[in-house]
Structure 1
C-alpha cells in the first residue's frame, strides 16, 4: 500500500495534470455507474415483478429528483420546487385513488418510498431529528396526524410580552364577545419561547377550556428552521403541524368584527380550500427587482395570479397574512403549504424570501401558486378602519394604523394591528374607531403618523360593530389586569 502511494506521488510530481484528470474522470465514472446501477436495479425488479407503467414512470422521476436535489442558491429554484411539489400532489392523490388501491403490496411500498424520498429531498424539515424515534414515512405520518373533519384556530404566540398580551386579548374576545366555540391551538417554539407560566395565563382567558398548546419543535427538526423568536416564520409550520384539518391561522394582534366561524363559510374558501386577504395597494412600479424575480419564477400564472393587481399593474405587496384559511384535507393545499413552509425555512428565508419581500406575507400565495393549488383572495385590496383626519374632520378621509378586511358581502370581518389605537406608541391607548373605507387611495404614514385612505365613500361603523369593539376592549382590559397582577407576583417572589 505504501508503495502504491509512493508511485502515485511520483506520478503526480512528473505529471500533476494527468493525475488530476484521472481523479476527475474516476469521480464522474463513480456517479455514472451508481446511477446506471440504480436503473439496472429498477429494471431487474421490473423483470421479476412487473410494475404498473404509471408507477414505473413515478419511480424514475423520483430517482431523478434524488440525483438532482434542490440546493442553494435558492433564488432561481422556486419554480422547480413548485414543479416537484405538483408531482408530489399527483402521487399522493394516486396513492389515495382507486388506482392506488389496486396496486400490489410491493408496488404500493415502492410508491410510498418514492413519495417519502422525494418529499424529504424537497422539504428537509420533515426529517425527524436523529435523537427522536421518527417513523420511516414522516410525510404520510404528518397527514395522518390531522383529525379528520376537524376545524380550529391556530395562534402563533411565543416570544415577546406584547405577543402574549395580544393573544390574551384575542382569546378573550373570541370566547366572551363572539361565543366562538372553535378549538384554539397556541403554537410556540420550545419552552423558552412560551414558558409554562405564560401558557397557564393564556389558558385562564378561555373560560370554555377549549385551548391547547403545540410546541412546533415536537413535530419538526429546528435545525433547518431556527424558529426561536423569529416571529413570522413559525406561522406556516404552525399551520402544517396543527392537528386541525381545516385551519384559521391568526396573528395574535388580529381583531375580529365577526366570529371567525364565518371564514369557513365564504364561497372563496368552500370552492378553493385556500382563502387569503389582500394587503394595501401601494408603491406602484417601486420594486423592479421583486417583480422581475416573480416573473422569472412564475412561468405559467394561474387565473388567480392574472387577477392580481400586484402581478398586472406592479403594485408592491399582495397579501396581509394576519389571517389565512386552509383546508389541509385537499392534497394540493397541503402540498402548497409545504412549499410555503419551505420558503420560511431558515436557509431559504435568509437568502431569498425575507430579503426580496417583507417577512412571510408573500410566501403564502406564492407557495400555493407555484405548487399548483387553487386559492382565492378577498375581492378588495386592503381597506382601512379608523377616524377622521386629525385637524381636518371635513375632509373625506379615514385614518389609522391598521388594515381592514371584508367578507364576500363587503361587511367588515377583521383588521390587523390590535385593539390599541397605535400599538407601537401607546400601550394603553384603547379607542373605538368610528369610520371605514374601501377601494380608496392610500396615503402612507409612519410609526407615529397615521396612514389615511381618501377618494372613496367614508362609511360609519354600525352600532353592532361599535358594540363588538367596545366589548372586546373591555375584555382586553381585564386580560391586562390579570397579566399585570401575575407580573407583580413574579417580581415580588
Structure 2
C-alpha cells in the first residue's frame, strides 16, 4: 500500500486568484487570435487596390463620363466638391472581437451598378467584329471612321474606368480585385440575376474587348503606361501648369519668355517637352532647369512611333497629353504675353467647358462645309455649323499658339488629336494615302476638329479679337465723297501694319498675348535686333472684299483696317523688358548694339 502525503487545502482566496488568472489568460489569447486574423484580412483587402506605378493620385474633380463611380464636379469649377457618393474601398474593422464588413457590402453594391453597365455594353459578335476590324481607309473616310470608332470607345472606356477607379479618402486607385470580389461575394451575381460563372465570363470578355479596342485606336502610349486607365489616373490630381516644346533652335526663346511670364506674376510649374538628345541638348536643358519651377522631359521615351516619326508641330498634343498636369496650358516657344497667362484658367469660357482655344486670322475665305460633312459623324453639332469652315468665311479657324485643356475631362478627345498628329498625319501619294496634314494646315485645326470628331462639344473659342502689331505703313487718305451722292457716308481712315506677329486681344480690346516672336522677319537671316512695336490694329469682324488681311512671303501678313491703337506705357515697358531678356538669352544672335 502506497502512502499518500497529506497536504493542507489551499485557502479560498488562492483558488479564486488562480481561476481569475486562467480566465484573463484565455481572454487575452482569444483577443490576440481575432486581432491577428482581422489585420491579415484587412491587409489582403487593401492589397487588392493598386495605383498606377504605385503612386496615389488625389482627386479634386472628375470626368463626367465616370460620374456614377467617382464624384464629378460642375464643369465650371474643376476644384468643386461633388454631392455624389464615390465608390469607396472596403474597410474592415474589429469591434468587440468581431470582424465587421458593412463598408464592403456597401462598396459591392456600388460595384454591382458598375458591373451592370459594363455587361449591358458588351458588344455582340457582329458589333465586336465591326469595332475591332482594321481601319484601312484614307483621307476623309478614315477621319470619319476614326470619329465613329472613338465615340464608341469613349462610351465603353468610361464604363470600364468607372468599374475600376475607386476613391479611398484622398486617393484614386485602379482596383485589380474584380474577379476575386465577384467570386467571393455571390450576392453580386445574384443582384445581376446571373450566376458567378456568367458574371466572370462577361467581365473577362469585356476586358479582352476593351484592351483590343484601345490597342487598335491608341497603342502608342504603351511604353510609358501599361494601359489607358493608368495614364488617365496619373494626372487626375496634377494641378495646373504650363507646357512648352523646344529644341536647340527655340531654347533661347524659352530663356526669354519664361522669365517674362514670371515677371507678370505667373508662378505655375513649367514642363519643357523635347524629342531626345538630338532635339534639345544637355547644355540647354541645364539652362532651362536652372530657372525656378522648370523641368525638361523627353517625350520620345513615352511614345512608340514605330512606322512614323514624331516631330515638329505634331509634338504639341503629345506634349500636352504626357505632361504631368491635369490642367495644362500649352504655349508655343515663340509666343509672348502682355498679361499673366495664369488668368486664362479662370476665364469663364474655360471654367464652363474645360477647353479654351484661340481663333486664327479672319482671312482667306474658303468653304469647307462639304469636307466637314464628309468627316463628321451625325448629328453635326451647332458649333461645327457655325464655324468659319462651314460658313466659308475663312479657311482658318484655330491658332494653336496657346491651348488650355482640362485633360481629365477631355481625355479621349486629346487621345484622338494626338493620333491625328501621329500615325495619320502624313500622306503618301505613291501609296494612295491621304494624311491629316494634306487636308488641314499643320496641327492647328486638329484640336477643335478632334473634339468634334469625338462628339465632345465642350470647348470654347476665346472671344477676343485678333490683331497685328508693329509700325504703321504710310497712311491711306479716306476716299473722297462722290459728287453724285453727296450724302454718302465718309469712310474712316484706314491704317496698315505688315508683320508676322499675330496679336490676340482680351474681351476688353487690350493686348493679351502674341505669336510670331519679336523679329520683323525671322526668315530674313537678320536676327540681330527685334522689330519696333508702337501700334496695333484690330481686324474687322466682317468679311471684306478685298480682304482686310493680305498674305505675303515669309509669313508676313498685312492688315488694313480702321481700328488702330498705340501701346500703353506699361505695354511698351513689357515689350522692352522682353527684348532685353532676349538679348541676355542670345535669342537675337548677337549682343545689343
For Structure 1 versus Structure 2, the TM-score category normalised by the shorter chain is 0.7 to 0.9
- 2:276 and 2:590 map into 1 onto residues whose CA distance is 24
Q: In terms of mean alpha carbon deviation, does 368-377 or 93-102 score higher?
A: 93-102
Q: Is the 8 A contact 2:357 2:459 kept in 1?
A: yes
- 2:356 and 2:401 map into 1 onto residues whose CA distance is 12
Tell me the SS of whatever aligns to 1:300.
coil
Residue in structure 1 matching 2:511, options 396, 409, 412: 412
- 1:377 and 1:273 map into 2 onto residues whose CA distance is 11
- 2:137 and 2:275 map into 1 onto residues whose CA distance is 26
Structure 1 residue aligned with 2:300: 217
* TM-fit CA distance, 1:358: 1.2
Structure 1 residue aligned with 2:237: 148
Which residues of structure 2 form unaligned runs of 5+? 1-111, 167-174, 183-199, 428-433, 478-492, 541-546
Change in CA separation of 1:109 and 1:74 when aligned onto 2, cut-off 3 Å: farther
Tell me the SS of whatever aligns to 1:186.
strand
Residues 258-269 of structure 1 mapped to structure 2, 5 A cutoff = 258-269=339-350
* TM-fit CA distance, 1:113: 4.4
Structure 1 residue aligned with 2:75: none
- 2:243 and 2:307 map into 1 onto residues whose CA distance is 22
Structure 2 residue aligned with 1:127: 222
> Would you say 1:386 and 2:470 are equivalent positions?
yes
- 1:364 and 1:481 map into 2 onto residues whose CA distance is 30
- 1:404 and 1:267 map into 2 onto residues whose CA distance is 21
* TM-fit CA distance, 1:432: 4.0
Tell me the SS of whatever aligns to 2:267.
coil
Change in CA separation of 1:65 and 1:314 when aligned onto 2, cut-off 3 Å: farther
Q: Deviations over 1:88-133 (max 9, x none)?
A: 33234334548987986556665554433212211231333xxxxx
Q: Is the 8 A contact 2:274 2:298 kept in 1?
A: yes
* TM-fit CA distance, 1:273: 0.7
Change in CA separation of 1:257 and 1:116 when aligned onto 2, cut-off 3 Å: farther
- 1:195 and 1:460 map into 2 onto residues whose CA distance is 40
- 1:154 and 1:315 map into 2 onto residues whose CA distance is 29
Tell me the SS of whatever aligns to 2:399.
coil
Tell me the SS of whatever aligns to 1:190.
coil
> Would you say 1:117 and 2:212 are equivalent positions?
yes
> Would you say 1:306 and 2:369 are equivalent positions?
no
- 1:165 and 1:315 map into 2 onto residues whose CA distance is 34
Tell me the SS of whatever aligns to 1:349.
coil
- The structure whose residues are more often helix, as a share, is 1
- 1:242 and 1:65 map into 2 onto residues whose CA distance is 34
Q: Is the 8 A contact 2:355 2:404 kept in 1?
A: yes
- 2:129 and 2:139 map into 1 onto residues whose CA distance is 19
RCO higher in structure (CA 8 A, sep ≥6): 1
- 1:359 and 1:276 map into 2 onto residues whose CA distance is 16
Change in CA separation of 1:225 and 1:258 when aligned onto 2, cut-off 3 Å: farther
> Would you say 1:191 and 2:273 are equivalent positions?
no
* TM-fit CA distance, 1:295: 2.3
Tell me the SS of whatever aligns to 1:75.
helix
* TM-fit CA distance, 1:453: 2.1
* TM-fit CA distance, 1:203: 2.6
Tell me the SS of whatever aligns to 1:244.
coil
RMSD (Å), alpha carbons: 3.1
Residue in structure 1 matching 2:403, options 294, 302, 324: 324
Structure 2 residue aligned with 1:296: 374
TM-score (norm 2): 0.64
Q: Is the 8 A contact 1:291 1:314 kept in 2?
A: no
Q: Deviations over 1:288-338 (max 9, x none)?
A: 6x55322211243323223322321241111111111100121xx111111
- 2:238 and 2:444 map into 1 onto residues whose CA distance is 27
Structure 1 residue aligned with 2:338: 257
* TM-fit CA distance, 1:406: 2.3
* TM-fit CA distance, 1:73: 2.3
Structure 2 residue aligned with 1:357: 440
Change in CA separation of 1:178 and 1:142 when aligned onto 2, cut-off 3 Å: same
* TM-fit CA distance, 1:264: 0.5
- 1:98 and 1:226 map into 2 onto residues whose CA distance is 35
Count of aligned pairs: 418
* TM-fit CA distance, 1:52: 5.5
Q: Deviations over 1:24-66 (max 9, x none)?
A: xxxxxxxxxxxxxxxxxxxxxxxxx9x9564234321673355
Residue in structure 1 matching 2:144, options 72, 79, 96: 79
> Would you say 1:442 and 2:548 are equivalent positions?
yes
* TM-fit CA distance, 1:149: 4.4
> Would you say 1:370 and 2:456 are equivalent positions?
no
> Would you say 1:462 and 2:548 are equivalent positions?
no
Change in CA separation of 1:383 and 1:110 when aligned onto 2, cut-off 3 Å: farther
Bigger radius of gyration among the two: 2
Q: Is the 8 A contact 1:304 1:376 kept in 2?
A: no
- 2:301 and 2:142 map into 1 onto residues whose CA distance is 29
Q: Is the 8 A contact 2:470 2:535 kept in 1?
A: yes
Change in CA separation of 1:365 and 1:349 when aligned onto 2, cut-off 3 Å: farther
Tell me the SS of whatever aligns to 2:473.
coil
